[in-house]
Amino acid sequence: MRIGILTSGGDSPGMNAAIRAVVRTCVYHKIEVYGIRRGYQGMIEGDIFKMETTDVSNIIQRGGTILKTARSKEFMTEEGMQKAYDALQLHGIEGLILIGGDGTFRGAVHFFERFTVPAVGLPGTIDKDLSGTDFTIGYDTAVNTAVQAIDKIRDTAEAHDRLFVVEVMGRDAGYIALNSGIACGAEDILIPEQVTNMDDVLERIDHDEKRKKTVHIIVTAEGDDFGGSKEITQTIKDRFPDKDVRMCVLGHIQRGGSPTYADRVLASRLGYAAVEALLAGNTQVMAGIMNDKVVYTPFANVIKEEAAISDDMLEMIRVLSV
């Protein structure tokens, strides 16, 4: 049997650990494994090479992905999918392991509707926005990176009596903002899953001003419906012209860095489980961890059901921000 492996979409810390686990598990079972560079685009272009156990030595601690990654509009066309399938056939690849997020699995559903290629997915995304798993590869590292940065921002905010608006990643999902904000004691947390009432935010700032609380940290996801950190910051400045208000966009530092132990272990467990699933004929599914057990969710269900933020968490934020 020959298995192909690729990483697609946004990179996330722990992807290399997952690649390592897949390759080593394949070698153990005497399965040939082929790396596909740059995701679906590399599949279309036939950028495919055989991998050995030495190819994944000393990568478990590295961020990014040794297979590179890309987003491919061409793959969503009939012609692009045909080229991708032809490349797999040329290399004799009989199964695929896909590491990525929502877009990766959406592409997989369209591809496998047309071509019969067994595949198993791994949830590689910092956003933690996939159903069928409690955690995604890269989320723990990304949220810890955000926590470390916000802690440092609070130090300088304390020194100057400033208000900071800190923007973290999360175009459609607010998990990084939610949990980094809770962990850092943010006074306000703004996420895409909840409509932002800016009047309430301004009222809380005014309340803090009146009780001489001089530091105020607002953590916002980039996909917040009010318009992100720039709009929020300007609105606060207009309302409080005498207050020292600063903005900090953490950006892509959240994607990089050495993965935490949690992401390394998660990626290793799921990489191993993906190969075992292919061997057992359990395909067109994403491997995930729920209640500390490996579970498999069909691709169609993964993209249909969004991971929901509980109402209890949202209520806790409101209570703790007083």
Tokens standing for residue 275: 């190969």
Give me the pLDDT at residue 210, please: 86
Sorting pLDDT into bands at 50, 70 and 90, what band is 172?
Answer: confident
Assigned CATH topology for domain 2-138+259-304: Rossmann fold (3.40.50)
Q: Mean pLDDT over residues 107-112, rounded?
A: 88
Residue 314: pLDDT over 90: no
Give me the pLDDT at residue 215, please: 87
Domain ranges of the chain: 2-138+259-304, 140-255
Q: Do domains 2-138+259-304 and 140-255 have the same CATH topology?
A: yes
User: What are the CA-CA distances from residue 182 to residues 99, 238, 304 (Å)?
Assistant: 29, 27, 28
Sorting pLDDT into bands at 50, 70 and 90, what band is 305?
Answer: low
Does 127 qualify as catalytic in the annotation?
yes
Residue 117: pLDDT over 80: yes
Alpha carbon distance 268, 14 (integer Å): 9
Give me the pLDDT at residue 123, please: 97
Residue 313: pLDDT over 80: no
Give me the pLDDT at residue 316, please: 80
pLDDT in tens, 245-296: 999 999 999 999 999 999 999 999 999 999 999 999 999 999 999 999 999 9
What secondary structure letter does DSSP report for 220?
E
Assigned CATH topology for domain 140-255: Rossmann fold (3.40.50)
The Cβ of residue 322 has, within 10 Å, a number of other Cβ atoms equal to 7
Residue from 127, 129, 224, 263 carrying the catalytic annotation: 127
**Is 72 in a helix, a strand, or coil?**
coil
Sequence-ordered list of residues with C-beta below 8 angstroms from that of 31, at least 6 positions apart, any chain: 1, 2, 3, 275, 279
Alpha carbon distance 88, 13 (integer Å): 27
* Direct distance between the N- and C-terminal alpha carbons of the chain, in angstroms, rounded to an integer: 59
